[in-house]
């Protein structure tokens, strides 16, 4: 009898497609994996929808919100949702995600630094 795959193993093909920049394939693989109760799954789906050639920001936002409802401190979802909010010109919302990330990453983390950089870049482009 084959061993049951872990959530990490189930999501790995989608992660590989994302790393390769093939977001449509990642969406297809995520739909096949059907892990809707996983914060990681929802985060990856939101990311793929946001990054694909024709981004679907409203759908991506739903997946980020679901990921954060499942895991309020999901660092990836906090970062990526903050970046999505910047795309929607919602600086205040992005800064709220940053504040939540600061609590989730007390000693700093890559996601925190990335969102700080995105906010700094956003502010530098505004008059």
pLDDT tens figures, 107-125: 989 999 999 999 999 999 9
Query: Does residue 96 belong to any structural domain of this protein?
Result: yes
Specify the DSSP element, H or E, that contains 83. helix 75-87
Query: Does residue 11 belong to any structural domain of this protein?
Result: yes
The CA-to-CA distance between both ends of the chain, in Å, stands at 63
What is the residue range of 88's domain? 72-127
Query: Does residue 85 belong to any structural domain of this protein?
Result: yes
Specify the DSSP element, H or E, that contains 25. helix 23-33
Query: Does residue 88 belong to any structural domain of this protein?
Result: yes
pLDDT tens figures, 60-82: 999 999 999 999 999 999 999 99
Which pLDDT band, with edges at 50, 70 and 90, does 3 fall under? low
Q: How many domains does the chain have?
A: 2
């Amino acid at each position: 009898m084959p061993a049951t795959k872990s959530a990490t193993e189930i999501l790995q093909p989608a992660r590989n497609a994302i790393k390769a920049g093939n977001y449509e394939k990642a969406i297809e693989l995520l739909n096949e994996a059907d892990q809707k109760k996983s914060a990681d799954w929802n985060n990856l789906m939101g990311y793929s929808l946001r990054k694909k050639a024709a981004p679907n920001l409203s759908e991506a936002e739903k997946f980020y919100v679901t990921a954060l409802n499942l895991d309020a401190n999901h660092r990836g979802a906090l970062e990526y949702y903050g970046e999505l909010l910047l795309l929607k010109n919602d600086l205040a919302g992005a800064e709220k995600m940053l504040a939540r990330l600061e609590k989730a990453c007390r000693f700093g983390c890559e996601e925190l630094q990335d969102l700080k950089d995105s906010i700094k870049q956003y502010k530098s482009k505004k008059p």
